[in-house]
């Protein structure tokens, strides 16, 4: 065994420690193992956002307590050529009472998508059929269903999408297929959708029916989340008729988010 008291021995051990080689005959104890530090995983980022704008007539309440809504005599096809009322016509409403994400129960739906990685946008929409019933002896007898055309749903101008936000403007006008064009569900909106989760909306709409907007985000890890941006309750069916709505409903519902 090499004596650690000699200068030569101490020098040999020092060199061995530097070079990682044990001196001949010397006992070198192993040091504590050092665990490698795991690098923190980056938080998942939003890669795509979709905005769901829906209008719907809720079931129940004072407007449709039995699940049906009375059609107005003005503007709807309630009269024959002789000027006499053909029947007491009613329309079916949507099978929901409040906000509901992707329920499928709506009058109209417009979906706006923003892909921040590809810097692309998309739009799709759907109008559900409106069923008509005749009220006979207190009972509702189904007659037929019609679907309104979608000519009045338009993306205005050229939407813009970058890696951090997207902006789009949309106008919407959809009539009751059993009524004339004077009774349409009208709304306009300008949206700015940020990749960091913020949503800016400026718009206006008729105070009939209910209007609501949802946002769904898809993240880089494949997960999704959704939240309600706004929900506005209806005031009166009369609000669909422009010249009546301005007087009775005191104009459109105008809003800005955030305020």
Q: Which residues pair with 241 in a beta bridge?
A: 183
pLDDT of residue 31: 54
pLDDT recorded at residue 248: 75
Q: Which helix (H) or strand (E) holds 217?
A: strand 210-219
Q: What does the DSSP 8-state code read for residue 241?
A: B
Q: Which residues neighbour 92 within 8 Å (Cβ) at sequence distance 6 or greater?
A: 67, 68, 69, 130, 131, 132, 133
Q: What angle do CA 21, 26, 28 make, to 5 degrees?
A: 65
Which of the residue ranges 11-20, 39-48, 53-62, 209-218 would you say has the lowest mean pLDDT?
11-20
> For the chain, what percent of residues have pLDDT higher than 70?
77
Cβ(115)–Cβ(48) below 8 Å: yes
pLDDT grade, residue 78 (50/70/90)?
low
| pLDDT tens string 88-107 | 889 999 999 999 999 999 99
Q: What contacts 224, CB < 8 A, 6 or more positions away?
A: 216, 217, 218
Mind listing the pLDDT tens digit for each residue in 157-205? 999 999 999 999 999 999 888 887 677 899 999 999 999 999 999 999 9
The three-class DSSP label of residue 227 is: strand
Give yes or no for residue 18 having a pLDDT over 60: no
CA distances from 56 to 63, 95, 161, 209, 221 (A): 12, 9, 29, 6, 33
- Find residue 131's DSSP bridge partners: 145
Q: Measured between alpha carbons, how far is 207 from 205 in angstroms, rounded to an integer?
A: 6
**Per-residue model confidence as pLDDT tens digits over 226-250:** 999 999 999 988 888 766 656 778 8
Tens-place pLDDT, residues 24-64 = 444 444 555 666 666 678 899 999 999 999 999 999 988 89
Q: What is the pLDDT of residue 71?
A: 81
Average pLDDT score, the chain: 85
């Amino acid at each position: 065994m090499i004596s650690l008291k000699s200068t030569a021995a101490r020098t040999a051990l020092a060199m061995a420690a530097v070079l990682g080689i044990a001196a001949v005959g010397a006992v070198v104890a192993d040091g504590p193992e050092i665990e490698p530090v795991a690098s923190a995983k980056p938080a998942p980022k939003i890669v795509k956002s979709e905005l769901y704008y829906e209008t719907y007539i809720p079931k129940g309440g004072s407007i449709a307590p039995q699940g049906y809504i009375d059609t107005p005599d003005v503007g709807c096809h309630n009269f024959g050529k002789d000027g006499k009322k053909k029947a007491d016509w009613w329309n079916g409403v949507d099978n929901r009472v409040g906000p509901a994400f992707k329920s499928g129960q709506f009058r109209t739906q417009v979906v706006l998508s923003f892909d921040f990685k590809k810097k692309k946008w998309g739009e799709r929409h759907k109008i559900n059929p409106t069923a008509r019933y005749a009220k006979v002896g207190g009972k509702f007898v189904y007659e037929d269903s019609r679907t309104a055309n979608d000519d009045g749903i338009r993306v205005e101008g050229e939407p813009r999408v970058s890696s951090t936000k997207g902006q789009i403007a949309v106008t919407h006008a959809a009539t009751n297929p059993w009524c004339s064009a004077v009774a349409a569900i009208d709304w306009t909106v300008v949206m700015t959708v940020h990749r960091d989760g913020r949503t800016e909306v400026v718009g206006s709409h008729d105070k009939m029916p209910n209007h609501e907007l949802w946002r769904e985000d898809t993240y880089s890890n494949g997960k999704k989340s959704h939240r309600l941006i706004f929900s506005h309750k209806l005031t009166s069916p009369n609000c669909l008729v422009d010249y009546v709505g301005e007087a009775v409903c005191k104009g459109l519902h105008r809003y800005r988010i955030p305020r």
